[in-house]
Structure 1
Amino acid sequence: MRDGYLLTVDQSTSGTKAFLIDSRGEIVEKRSISHMQIYPQSGWVEHDPLELYHNVKEVINEIIQVKQVKQSDVRAMTITNQRETVLIWDKLTGEPVYHAIVWQCRRTSSLCASYKEQGFEAMVHSKTGLTIDPYFSATKIKWVLDHVPGVRERAGKGELKVGTIDSWLLWKLTNGDVHATDVTNASRTLLYNIHTCEWDDELLELFGIPASMLPEVRSSDAHYGEVASEDFLLTGFPISGVIGDSQSALFAQKCFETGMAKATFGTGTSIMVYSGLPLEVEKGLVTSVAWGRNNQVEYALEGIIHTTGDVMRWMKDELTLFNDFKEAEMMAERLDDNGGVYLIPSFVGLGAPYWSPETRAGITGMGRNTNKAHIVRAGFESIAYQVKDVIQLINEETNREVNELRVDGGATSNRFLMQFIADMLDIKVIVSQIAELSALGSAYLGGLGVNVWSS
């Protein structure tokens, strides 16, 4: 163990967080800022990539100022990010050609259905471990190429770059010197063959995406270059520990043995079980890269839930049923049961095990005696029921029982919800004392990459 700090960026769906983490793996300082959610049409979700980068700059510089960090103090910057969200930008100016299209966005539902009707699902699944769904990046990229004037022509001329949010931040942080991504983010695009560990020419042709646009794929603990942008108060330190947020939490939860499972609660919820090797699964789970370390790739199975925390945020912000989440927890606890009220939280379709992008949300079972507390409780319970669906699916597909679930993320502070999940699953639900495990996983990998730790 050597002294020094890791400066970690967690670019999530709802906001930007920055952490200063010491050589003991403890969070010394944290800053966060939310960003705008853009909904151009029903089912469409976008982010402004320039706002995301501006917010990264703001939170990093604030930590540097507050803690009086010197360049020699920083061993590396690490990055963890919302996955599948993707954008295209001009390689000379760095200007996006369109907003980033978020993983939640359903605009390519009909396109995905068309690919399935043409019989491409089996081929895509065999190469990527994924299902053809608007959740993943490829059809989002195709949509921008096909619908934004002039973009496909410019892409054909080699003028444009494409990437998930980690690639975008790396490009900006290095002043356009590095166009790269890690194996976990690459494995979520529908363009990356998880068996050969390469971009797949057949998939690129299927989705009509020029290979020249794509980033180089590296291990999660690789060296990605140095921070060079003068937007930051400090520059010159290396970037390592680049990884998608759910896989990062799996690493931080120390799920290093086959069958160990975790759930990360955010806007949606990712339930992952470490498999080591890529497993063939059906019925709604996806196979994904868990991480790349020392140039070795390890794998996990995942059940993806589109809407969990966002259900409660919708109740708070749009329905104004409560002022804060502690109040919501108290409302749910005061009831003996849900009064027969159930919420189907398919605001952006359903993920595992249904993969039904067109399904819409609904509340059922209301009577004249239903009050807002019943609806709030139904919202919490809808999260638990979705988690149960996925855990049951994992048990069936792996032929082994998940006997404990390690959990992290903002919702884990809600004791009612965590206990309800434990009751539904009838297993131990182990709540991390630190909610920000996605950031810690990235820091751990980055620290291993620059030899802050030896193992």
Structure 2
Amino acid sequence: MTEPLLLALDQGTSSSRAVLFNPQGEPLASAQVPLAIHYPADGWVEQQARAIWESQFQAMHELERALTPSQRRAVCACGVTNQRETTVLWRRSDGAAIGPALVWQDRRTTDLCRRWQQRPDAAEWQQRTGLVLDPYFSASKVRWLLDHTPAAADAQRSGDLCIGTVDSWLLWQLSGGELHASDHSNASRTLLLDLEQRTWLPQALAAVGLSGEELPQLRPSRGGFGRIAAGLPFAGVPITAVLGDQQAATYGQLCLAAGQAKCTYGTGAFLVVNVGEKPVRAEGGLLSTVGWSDASGSASYCLEGSLFNAGTVVQWLRDGLGLISTASDVDALAASVPSSGELMLVPAFTGWGTPHWDPSARGLLIGLTRDTSAAHVARAALEGIALAVSTLVETAEAALATPLLELAVDGGAAASDVLMQAQADCSGLSVRRPPHLESTARGVALMAGQEAGVVADLEPLRQQLLSGASRFSPQLSDHARRAWRCRWQEAVRRCLHWQGDDHV
């Protein structure tokens, strides 16, 4: 008899994946479909909502077709995880998307957010949501779409408008247009959720110009989200968990106790620290967010530091500069030189997140000499990602008034030994890399399996994860680390306030 199997739908910024897991969290089969990203202007980042769904559908179809009949029958639950903050508008009446999907990296609403920062209730708005008034989050994207897409404003006036993040858009499609819902982890990234009450915040809705009827129904992350509709791959399978991608990766790394931390190196890099059952609001540009919630009313909260560009830096080396043929080539190129010398690359291609929250920051390559080679640039690129993450670590440690003991890592770029060693060296932390780097899909699959009753005890899985991990230990002296990071902070300072009217 085939053991129960778990399906994870992992909709990311650059691709959509469907992954099959056993109850031990081991991947058995997967399918992946690339997803195009469009850059119509400086700081503008868009996708087509229909293409997001079609890529996810295609991944589901390819995976289902690859399974045996007994495997297909054994799939007992589905979890959905997704790129967060990316905003989609569509019509309730026919499910047609309205306008582009504005991706989380999009910075076109910078001026609107600056105006919001001058509101008398700006501090309370940020405190209640745990976020900052920045283009990263969904609220300003919603307002921009309503202001610049006449069909969206018309649909809102007639009560025909649905607004959601990618999880909501996927759930609408997966349910055949029956369910407009979001989970607390995704909703906490919109600037519209009261973090403690886990309800839509009236003052935020008023500021954006929403009645609330346009927004999805809020549900716990672990719980019922209906079944996959007839006519779709895996039809009839219950959807029992929904999580934003960074929260899912945290769960997949089994960082389930307060003080445990992970960093995912995907399109961006995101440090997430579990802080327990009550939100912690911190200085230094850290974000407070819902980790996950369940039907009992309990929730886990996290602090998060955000770097907008990580894997995109490697893509730029490949597609923009032509220094490598494939992303996996970067490690060998970077390792061909012992040091980047004085060269530093600050990856602020689409602005800077934690701790500066400066949408006008831009990328910087500084320290070039006649001896600089492609290998030096590749090494500086990887070190720039690590140095930026070390700032997130330092900020989190200051906020919690306690050091992090270890950093669990995952995501595609974490395959780079050069990057992981640089991360250990500049942060001073032991870095733990699991045998399977895609913790996002694993996390939501495990949660879906718990709700379905086929995953009972996570502790054996945690012990297995620890025993199979690769580890990188710091090899720099404290003095060398401090000097390196001091030099880095000077480079970051020079990239801030660069674009547009902020140029000083």
TM-score, with structure 2 as normaliser: 0.88
Structure 2 residue matching 1:110: 3-state secondary structure: helix
Aligned to 1:117: 118
Aligned to 1:256: 256
Paired with 2:235 and 2:343, the residues of 1 have a C-alpha distance of 54
Paired with 2:360 and 2:427, the residues of 1 have a C-alpha distance of 28
Structure 1 pair 309/119, CA: closer, same or farther in 2 (3 Å)? Answer: farther
CA contact (8 A) 2:24 2:455 kept: no
Offset of 1:128 from its aligned partner?
A: 0.5
Letter in 2 for 1:366: L
Structure 1 pair 229/42, CA: closer, same or farther in 2 (3 Å)? Answer: farther
Letter in 2 for 1:417: L
Structure 1 pair 177/326, CA: closer, same or farther in 2 (3 Å)? Answer: closer
Aligned to 2:166: 165
Paired with 2:417 and 2:76, the residues of 1 have a C-alpha distance of 37
Paired with 2:145 and 2:224, the residues of 1 have a C-alpha distance of 31
* RMSD (Å), alpha carbons: 1.3
Paired with 2:216 and 2:164, the residues of 1 have a C-alpha distance of 7
Paired with 1:106 and 1:422, the residues of 2 have a C-alpha distance of 31
Letter in 2 for 1:343: L
Aligned to 1:426: 428
Paired with 1:336 and 1:20, the residues of 2 have a C-alpha distance of 40
Matched, 1:317 2:313: no
129-138 or 288-297, which moves further after superposition?
Answer: 288-297
Matches within 5 A, 1:360-399: 360-399=362-401
Aligned to 2:334: 332
Offset of 1:453 from its aligned partner?
A: 2.1
Matched, 1:182 2:183: yes
Paired with 2:120 and 2:191, the residues of 1 have a C-alpha distance of 15
Aligned to 1:72: 73
Letter in 1 for 2:155: R
Identity of aligned residues (%): 35
Offset of 1:6 from its aligned partner?
A: 1.2
Offset of 1:377 from its aligned partner?
A: 1.2
Aligned to 1:443: 445
Aligned to 2:88: 87
Offset of 1:236 from its aligned partner?
A: 1.4
CA contact (8 A) 2:186 2:244 kept: yes
Structure 2 residue matching 1:213: 3-state secondary structure: coil
Paired with 2:244 and 2:297, the residues of 1 have a C-alpha distance of 17
245-254 or 56-65, which moves further after superposition?
Answer: 56-65
Q: Deviations over 1:231-274 (max 9, x none)?
A: x2441121111000100111111112211110011000110110
Letter in 1 for 2:22: D
Aligned to 1:306: 308
Letter in 2 for 1:161: C
Aligned to 1:281: 282
Paired with 2:157 and 2:406, the residues of 1 have a C-alpha distance of 50
Structure 1 residue matching 2:150: 3-state secondary structure: coil
Shift >6 Å, 4+ stretches? none
The structure whose RCO (Cα within 8 Å, separation 6+) is larger is 1
Offset of 1:102 from its aligned partner?
A: 0.3
For structure 2, the 5+ residue unaligned runs are: 458-504
Structure 2 residue matching 1:301: 3-state secondary structure: strand
Aligned to 1:408: 410
Aligned to 1:47: 47
Aligned to 1:341: 343
Offset of 1:150 from its aligned partner?
A: 3.5
Letter in 1 for 2:3: D
Aligned to 1:18: 18
Paired with 2:218 and 2:356, the residues of 1 have a C-alpha distance of 31
Paired with 2:416 and 2:137, the residues of 1 have a C-alpha distance of 30
Offset of 1:229 from its aligned partner?
A: 4.4
CA contact (8 A) 1:172 1:229 kept: no
Q: Deviations over 1:29-72 (max 9, x none)?
A: 01101111111111101111111111111111111111134663
Structure 1 pair 317/252, CA: closer, same or farther in 2 (3 Å)? Answer: same
TM-score, with structure 1 as normaliser: 0.97
Letter in 1 for 2:105: Q
Paired with 1:237 and 1:302, the residues of 2 have a C-alpha distance of 32
Paired with 1:118 and 1:219, the residues of 2 have a C-alpha distance of 31
Paired with 2:180 and 2:119, the residues of 1 have a C-alpha distance of 33
Aligned to 1:207: 208
